[in-house]
Structure 1
Amino acid sequence: VLCLGLVASLAQAAFIVENRSGGQNFANYSETGGWANSGGNVNAPGCTPDIGSRYSGATVYYGPDRQAVFTFTPDTTSPYDISLAWTNTAGEADTAVVLYTGVSFGGDLDPWGNAGPSEVIIFTTMDMYYKNAGVWNLAFDDVVLTAGTTYKVGIYAGHVAGIEGVPSNRIASGAAMFDMVPEPAALVLLGLGSLLMIRRRRTA
């Protein structure tokens, strides 16, 4: 029983943050700058069906001043996979995706010379322009997050500040998922727990 309880505690559900009211952990979602509702649905596995999404900008570059932010405070220090999902509407082909713990903008310089988020842990870009919609797309893998620390995943338009008239500067915001990666020892226990559960069913 103790082993089965330990296995259950190790197999923690992923933490999903959605950006519309009625979605999972909506209180963990925030925005800077102007955003509007979109009828485009994310509908990735585990997401709340058909609640729409959010978007910002269409032809004007805003950079980190106009940002969608998904926050997560882990209970357990562990490696985590962090994934994003978005809708099948025009997004940014060069969307900035930043994991950080500081302010959303006015901090460190990003690759385009903007004063972006501060206390950046890792930075990447993702192509959200009519690609890989409705599925989870891995942004950062095996990133060690510390229990009790609040982490932010911010997305905003890339390119060089001052560019205007570029339709791909439209940012589509959907959902973020923080999924704890079991350590090797935990995987062994998970396997053992599965065997014990199978044996228990057979002898019941």
Structure 2
Amino acid sequence: MKLHYVATHFLVLTLLLAGCSGSLSSTDGGLGSSATAEARTTIQTSKDGVVKLTVPDGWQDIWTEADKEQWSLLVGKRSELLQLGVRSIAKADFPAITPEAHAQAALTAGTAPFSEPEILENGKQITVNGHPAVLYRTVGTVSGQRLATYSLSVETPGYYHGIFVAGPEQTFVEHEAEVEHIIQSLQEAQETVSTQ
């Protein structure tokens, strides 16, 4: 599993390197933001049918067949070089893993390509759409470019949903509330059906 995350996060970080720079200021970001009612949104469903995200205008599905081993859902805001990926694993397939271990594996892999990584949130316990989650926020340099990331593990009764978000440092800060709103929209397909 660790090797999988290394390949996945390195791929995402490599894709983000074109022309990114900036500086990150400290924020209180608590993944509890809300979007305006006027914003146009689209529901994106994972390729395995397990989860859905509601994304605002400007975000689109960027998943390709080449991504099938890494992500079940991959969306991006190409104009800002931001990407958000979700991969869900059934708890039954990994009975010994904990949310903390799942998030730690993502953190370790996500910061592997960084020189001088800085952890801004270190295993912070949060909730994502009512589910317990573990969050790591990091910044670091890859090939001379400063990037910011979120690595999360969201626990539901049947799954661990790994969420990884990456983008140029300053752009990430400018769009942090938007990213947090997308993360908070995470819903399992079964929840969607049962609430209608």
Q: TM over 0.5: same fold?
A: no
Larger radius of gyration between Structure 1 and Structure 2:
1
Quick check: which one's strand share is greater?
2
